[in-house]
Structure 1
């Protein structure tokens, strides 16, 4: 019987109970709890798109947990010779990698990876999902409000092209939060099942103002630099709009952020901002994800052995 694996591909595959379990582990890691993976396995990081926060926090998380880290540069790998994603990961598996973290420009890239016997962790799939970012965002909100029930979250900006928005909306709604969307009409996605309101309305009602980056690389035409000021005035979190926020409301942004576009420079590290706290929490959330994947895969493996 073939070994079974436990992947981390989408938020939708996680039950509410699993999400709460991941958050408990992440917060426990932040409070100093330790967990070391047995036998110090190798984990490969394979990023086909640029990344600072996600890639580096996965690497720090892996090293804190005792993994050996294989950092694969897609630009200098056999990908440049036409090797498929499956064959690249299958090669890493043959070399000895026990898991692989992948960021890829194709939506649902993981659908082509059936047959692998090592866990695949989705670090962002095109315009699809960003489940590990979702977990660190949930952790940040949980630390602030201690619950999700009834928390009002406003997502503002480039919703249609945002994998962060898709993952977060799915998770937050199932956890009991209220989500509203604001931004340019052309960048909305009505299939997500959230109300589309004006930016001012969203900011006034929100407990969490979650700004989303203008994703120039996913638009057919890049936003001209002369339009940055116009976007900031119409849809950005300006200093004036910040004064409309409720007492106790916080500012979040998955990064990287464009100062003076999505958010005024003076607000990036203001008392309301949790932007760099999100970055900090990314390490602990990804530690929890790695623990979850390895423990779940081992549990499946033990169950199969017992069944033989």
Structure 2
């Protein structure tokens, strides 16, 4: 459903719900436009691009980086931004997400940035939206987080160049529950990445086709050997009740990225993490704050990527 909803017959984006199946030329165009915003502000005055357009951040799940990044991106494009807080909205009285969208849409809002707990939640809202309304998936369940995938590969491209075919990358941690990992995998494959290694304990690796074509293992030292980039994932503590790892201490011992472990990667390897970081669990302070860390650059690139997406959908 997402792919059918996402583009018009002519190929123009009307929503951004997933990176899976997104044409390479569309993905690269979004990255190029985001890079232009990074380099030059993108236009003589990007503040006019969405002047008079109303955008709502419709978040039914907690967020810091993504929500504020989208707000900043919309503001920089000149949009009117409405913030939505599920805890103080009519959803606490039983109103459905669909009725919430229709209510806000009736106020003249054209862009919705949606975060949902349920897989496919953003696509269901997009399917019900009026013509001319654009929905951006800001994370739904375990399915997808397309703008995070875009900003991660933009950060990798800035660090390593556009020829992904020569690169080896490792994705480490809780891949099973990670919508970020799925979007990263879609983007990396579309851009022709040379080699992907997926690493984590068996209970945190997906049992479906998510990792098809990847080298899969539970030995972090082997996964790091000679890689050009390491994508670390948050250990989702809310899943700890399922007993997926024995303890945080054992997880850090076996899968935490330390400076000593990072030396197994290529000397100029970069480290990415979508945040929030569990320091001392999946990543040590010395790596998170070290010279190979791209974490804050990812945050900065997030604003530019989200500007490019909102401009493509709404300008």
Per the normalisation by structure 1, the TM-score is: 0.90
User: CA RMSD for the aligned pairs?
Assistant: 1.7
Name the residue aligned to 2:190.
Answer: 174
Distance in 1, matches of 2:51 and 2:287, equals 45
Is 1:106 aligned to 2:118, yes or no?
Answer: yes
CA contact (8 A) 2:34 2:305 kept: yes
Residue 119 of structure 1, aligned match among 122, 134, 153: 134
1:244-302 Cα shifts (integer Å, max 9, x gaps): 2211111110110111111111111111111111111110011011011114xxxxxxx
Name the residue aligned to 1:303.
Answer: none
Distance in 2, matches of 1:6 and 1:100, equals 12
Distance in 2, matches of 1:38 and 1:110, equals 22
Residue 15 of structure 1, aligned match among 7, 16, 23: 23
Describe the shift of the 1:38–1:249 C-alpha distance in structure 2 as closer, same or farther (beyond 3 A): closer
How far is the alpha carbon of 1:83 from its aligned partner? 1.1
CA contact (8 A) 2:234 2:277 kept: yes
Name the residue aligned to 2:249.
Answer: 229
Name the residue aligned to 2:224.
Answer: 203
Secondary structure (helix, strand or coil) at the match of 1:31 reads helix
CA contact (8 A) 2:122 2:136 kept: no
How far is the alpha carbon of 1:217 from its aligned partner? 2.0
Distance in 1, matches of 2:20 and 2:264, equals 34
Is 1:277 aligned to 2:279, yes or no?
Answer: no
Spell out the pairing of 1:6-155 with structure 2 (5 A cutoff): 6-32=14-40, 33-34=42-43, 35=46, 36-113=48-125, 114-117=127-130, 118-147=133-162, 148-155=164-171
Is 1:186 aligned to 2:203, yes or no?
Answer: yes
How far is the alpha carbon of 1:38 from its aligned partner? 4.6
Residue 242 of structure 1, aligned match among 258, 262, 266: 262
CA contact (8 A) 2:203 2:244 kept: no
How far is the alpha carbon of 1:240 from its aligned partner? 1.7
Distance in 2, matches of 1:22 and 1:219, equals 37
CA contact (8 A) 1:232 1:238 kept: no
How far is the alpha carbon of 1:223 from its aligned partner? 7.2
CA contact (8 A) 2:226 2:266 kept: yes
How far is the alpha carbon of 1:241 from its aligned partner? 0.3
Aligned length: 291
CA contact (8 A) 1:48 1:103 kept: yes
CA contact (8 A) 1:216 1:222 kept: no
Secondary structure (helix, strand or coil) at the match of 1:149 reads helix
CA contact (8 A) 2:259 2:287 kept: yes
1:23-75 Cα shifts (integer Å, max 9, x gaps): 00000001122233254211000111111110011011011000010001111
How far is the alpha carbon of 1:11 from its aligned partner? 0.5
CA contact (8 A) 1:150 1:176 kept: no
Pick which of 130-139 and 109-118 moved more.
109-118
